[in-house]
Amino acid sequence: MSKKVISPGGAIDGAIDLPGDKSISHRYAILGALAEGRTEIANFASAADCRSTLECVKRLGAEVGTKDGRVFISGRGLDGLRAPRKTLDAANSGSTIRMLAGLLAGQAFTSKITGDASLRKRPMRRVIDPLTQMGAEIESDGGRAPIAIHGRKLHAIDYATPIPSAQVKSAVLLAGLYAHGVTTVREAVRTRDHTELALREFGANVQTSHGVISIEPQPKLAARQLVVPGDLSGAVFLIGAALVLPGSSLTIHGVGLNPTRAKVLDFLIAMGASIRIPTVQARGGELVGDISVKHAALEGGVISGPQVAEMIDELPMLAALGPYTENGVEIHDAKELRVKESDRIATLAEGLRAMGGRVEEFPDGLRVEGRSAGKLRGGKIDPRGDHRIAMALAVAGLGATGETVIGDAECAGVSFPEFFTVLDRLREATYAR
Q: In this complex, which beta carbon is closest to ligand S3P, that of residue 11 or of residue 172?
A: 172
Q: In this complex, which beta carbon is closest to ligand S3P, that of residue 243 or of residue 311?
A: 311
23 binds ligand S3P (CB under 6 A): yes
Report how far residue 316's alpha carbon sits from residue 115's, in angstroms, rounded to the nearest whole number. 23
Size of the site for ligand S3P (CB under 6 A): 11
Neighbours of 122 (CB within 10 A): 18
Report how far residue 107's alpha carbon sits from residue 54's, in angstroms, rounded to the nearest whole number. 18
Q: How far is the CB of 82 from ligand S3P (least distance, A)?
A: 26
Q: Where are the beta strands (DSSP E) in 2-53?
A: 4-6, 13-17, 38-42
- Tell which positions 299-358 bind ligand S3P, by CB under 6 A: 312-313
User: In sequence order, which residues have a C-beta less than 8 Å from that of residue 141 and are 6 or more positions away?
Assistant: 120, 147
Q: Rounded to the nearest 5°, which phi and psi values hold at 230? A: -60, 155
Report how far residue 131's alpha carbon sits from residue 268's, in angstroms, rounded to the nearest whole number. 38
Among 25, 43, 118, 165, binds ligand S3P (CB under 6 A): 165
Q: In this complex, which beta carbon is closest to ligand S3P, that of residue 313 or of residue 350?
A: 313
DSSP letter at 332 equals -
Q: How far is the CB of 238 from ligand S3P (least distance, A)?
A: 18
Q: In this complex, which beta carbon is closest to ligand S3P, that of residue 13 or of residue 89?
A: 89
- Tell which positions 73-112 bind ligand S3P, by CB under 6 A: 95
Neighbours of 156 (CB within 10 A): 21
* Residue whose C-alpha is closest to residue 307's, from 269, 343, 333, 271: 333
* Residue whose C-alpha is closest to residue 395's, from 293, 327, 301: 293
Please identify, among the stretches 105-113, 163-171, 224-232, 269-277, the one whose residues bind ligand S3P according to the rule CB under 6 A: 163-171
Edge-to-edge strands, sheet with 365-368: 301-303, 329-331, 365-368, 359-362
Q: Within a 13 Å sphere around the CA of 87, how many CA atoms are in the beta-carbon half?
A: 13
Q: How far is the CB of 121 from ligand S3P (least distance, A)?
A: 14
Please identify, among the stretches 29-37, 64-72, 166-174, 398-406, the one whose residues bind ligand S3P according to the rule CB under 6 A: 166-174
Q: How far is the CB of 262 from ligand S3P (least distance, A)?
A: 15
Q: In this complex, which beta carbon is closest to ligand S3P, that of residue 124 or of residue 250?
A: 124
Q: How far is the CB of 95 from ligand S3P (least distance, A)?
A: 4
Q: In this complex, which beta carbon is closest to ligand S3P, that of residue 224 or of residue 388?
A: 388
User: In sequence order, which residues have a C-beta less than 8 Å from that of residue 265 and are 6 or more positions away?
Assistant: 257, 275, 277, 291
Please identify, among the stretches 56-64, 144-152, 161-169, 326-334, the one whose residues bind ligand S3P according to the rule CB under 6 A: 161-169
Q: In this complex, which beta carbon is closest to ligand S3P, that of residue 196 or of residue 369?
A: 196
Q: How far is the CB of 431 from ligand S3P (least distance, A)?
A: 33
CA of residue 41 relative to chain centroid, distance: 18
Please identify, among the stretches 113-121, 160-168, 257-265, 351-359, the one whose residues bind ligand S3P according to the rule CB under 6 A: 160-168
Report the chain's terminal Cα–Cα distance, integer Å: 34
Catalytic residues: 313
Q: Which H/E stretch holds residue 263?
A: helix 263-270
- Tell which positions 177-196 bind ligand S3P, by CB under 6 A: 191-192
Q: In this complex, which beta carbon is closest to ligand S3P, that of residue 59 or of residue 194?
A: 194
Residue type at 341? Answer: E
Report how far residue 24's alpha carbon sits from residue 42's, in angstroms, rounded to the nearest whole number. 12
Q: How far is the CB of 69 from ligand S3P (least distance, A)?
A: 21
Question: Between β-strands 329-331 and 301-303, what pairing exists: parallel, antiparallel or unpaired?
Answer: parallel
Residues in the chain: 433
User: In sequence order, which residues have a C-beta less than 8 Å from that of residue 151 and are 6 or more positions away?
Assistant: 104, 105, 106, 107, 108, 109, 110, 111, 136
Q: How far is the CB of 370 from ligand S3P (least distance, A)?
A: 26
Enumerate binding residues for ligand S3P (CB under 6 A). 23, 26, 95, 165-167, 170, 191-192, 312-313
